[in-house]
Amino acid sequence: MSCWPRDDRAFRRAALRLAYPFAARLWRWFGPPLSAGVRVLLVDAGEVVLVRHTYGYGWYLPGGGLDPGETFDGAARREAREEVGADLKSLRLFGAYTNRAEGRSDNVIVLIATEFSLGDIDGVEIAKVGRFPLNDLPEGTSPGTLRRLAEYQSAPAGGHVGRW
């Protein structure tokens, strides 16, 4: 049970928006120098599912960090469920990437799902979920997301390795 009343989402979203940049900086300074995460390419009928977080700006592929002991498959399914309410059928590897920003080694595995259903979101971490045509992405789509989608359009089978 949460200590926050269910009808107090606006307050929780504002608190998250204010606290996230500070917490992220602390984590970068004192957290482990190596991290692992996942992103999920949810693609169907020429459209991709993107999210906009309450604590930041821009559109991103759904995803996040691995919990202790979690597999990439498990993290992708959990993040997709938490962020877009998605129930994923099968997943396949699309690519493996490294982000060396800020002196860290952030390793991101991108998985792809073409069969999924979307459900409700809680509205605390995710401000908006959208389905966008691959050739008409929203303004503010993150550079890493744009690179992954360009790779998908040129080689949808995956097998990509490189920098985020």
Q: What is the pLDDT of residue 13?
A: 76
Q: Which has the closest alpha carbon to 128: 59, 27, 37?
A: 59
Gap between the Cα atoms of 122 and 28, Å rounded: 27
CA atoms within 13 A on the CB side of 16: 16
Residue 3: per-residue pLDDT: 60
pLDDT for the residue 133? 98
No. of H helices and E strands in the chain?
Answer: 3, 9
On whether the 9-163 domain is CATH 3.40.50.970, my answer is no
Question: Would you kindly state where each structural domain of the chain is located, as residue ranges?
Answer: 9-163
Q: What is the pLDDT of residue 158?
A: 87
Low-confidence ranges of the chain (pLDDT < 50): 1
pTM over 0.85: no
Rounded CA separation 112/10 (Å):
32
What are 118's two structure tokens? 């979307």
**Of the candidates 120, 127, 109, 129, the residue with the CA atom closest to the CA atom of residue 49:** 129
